[in-house]
Amino acid sequence: DAGVTQSPTHLIKTRGQQVTLRCSPKSGHDTVSWYQQALGQGPQFIFQYYEEEERQRGNFPDRFSGHQFPNYSSELNVNALLLGDSALYLCASSWGGGGGTEAFFGQGTRLTVV
Amino acid sequence: RKEVEQDPGPFNVPEGATVAFNCTYSNSASQSFFWYRQDCRKEPKLLMSVYSSGNEDGRFTAQLNRASQYISLLIRDSKLSDSATYLCVVKAGGYQKVTFGTGTKLQVIP
C-alpha cells in the first residue's frame, strides 16, 4: 500500500518564477492538505482540497493556488516566487474531508528560491 | 496569542528519564488533538491521537485538559531513538481546520 507520495523531492527556482508541486494521497484517502514548513518552524497550513474543491485556506496570498483531480491527487502552484517561499512543502492526506481522522504526510518537496 | 503554543526546547534529558511536554491551544471549539513526531529533515509522522479520557501507548501517555485548554505528552524511560521534534496538532471547526504548534525538540543523551 503506497503512502503519500510527493514530487519532486527537491527543487531550485529563481525569484519570480512559478512552480508546481505534486501529491498523490495514500490509497483510500480523498482529502489532501498542503503545508509550508520553514526551517525551525512547525508546518503552516496552506489549504485543503476535498471533492476537487478548496475547502479551507490558511493565511497565504493568492500566489498560492492548487487543484485536486478526480483521482484525488493534487497540485500546489506558487507564482511569482519570493526568497521567503523557500521551505519544505508537505502534503498530507486523510479521509472524508479531514474530520477527526489523522493525516499521513508525504516526504515533502524542499523548495529553494534563489 | 498563537493558536497553538509549545515550548520549543530543546529538552536535553538522559536515557531512562521521564520527560513531559505541554501544548496550549486558544480555540475552545477545538475538537481533535494529535501528537506528531518529526525527525530532522523528515516528514511528520503520527505518534498518537489524544482522547478526552487520556490514552497510553507503551512508554507514551497523552492527556487532554479541555478546561485549561492544553494537551500533554509524557515519555517514560527515554530512549536515544526518541530524539526528535514533537509537534502538537489541533483541529477545529466544521472542516476541522488544522493548526500545528512550532514543535518541541527533544534530545536524549547517552
State the Cα angle at A42 between B19 and A20, rounded to 5°.
150
User: What digits encode the pLDDT tens for the residues A26-56?
Assistant: 998 999 999 999 988 889 999 999 999 998 8
Closest Cβ opposite residue A106 in set B34, B43, B46? B43
CA B67 to chain centre: 18
Whether residue A100 is predicted with pLDDT greater than 60 in this model: the reply is no
Contacts (Cβ under 8 Å, ≥6 apart) of A13: A19, A81, A111, A112, A113, A114
In the beta sheet, which residues pair with residue B61?
Answer: B56, B74
For an interface test with A, the pick among B51, B52, B98, B104 (most A C-beta atoms closer than 10 Å) comes out as B98
Residues of B in contact with A104 (CB under 8 A): 46
Span B68-100, pLDDT tens digits: 999 999 999 999 999 999 999 998 765 667 888
| Contact flag B46-A99 (C-beta cutoff 8 Å) | no
Nearest to A42 among B46, B95, B102 (CB): B102
**C-alpha torsion A43→B40→A22→B30, nearest 10:** -30
DSSP state letter for B66: T
| Alpha carbon distance B12, A65 (integer Å) | 40
What phi and psi, each to the nearest 5 degrees, are found at residue A83?
-55, -35
A48 touches chain B (CB under 8 A): yes
Of B15, B13, B51, residue with least CA distance to B32 = B51
Q: Are the C-beta atoms of residues B31 and B92 closer than 8 Å to each other? A: yes
Burial of residue B86 (CB within 10 Å: 0-12, 13-18, 19+) is buried
> CA-to-CA distance for B102 and A24, rounded, in angstroms?
26
Residues in B closer than 8 angstroms to A41, CB to CB, are: 102-103
* Nearest C-alpha in B relative to A101: B32
Nearest to B46 among A35, A48, A102 (CB): A102
Residue A100 cell numbers, joined: 477527526
Closest CB from B31, B43, B97 relative to A100: B31
The pLDDT, as a whole number, for residue B51 is: 86
Measured in whole angstroms, the distance separating CA B30 from the mean position of its chain's CA atoms is 15
* pLDDT tens profile B7-57: 988 999 999 999 999 999 998 888 889 999 999 989 999 999 998 888 999
| Spatial contact of B8 and B105, defined as CB atoms under 8 Å apart | yes
* Spatial separation of the C-alpha atoms in residues A73 and B85, rounded to whole Å: 28
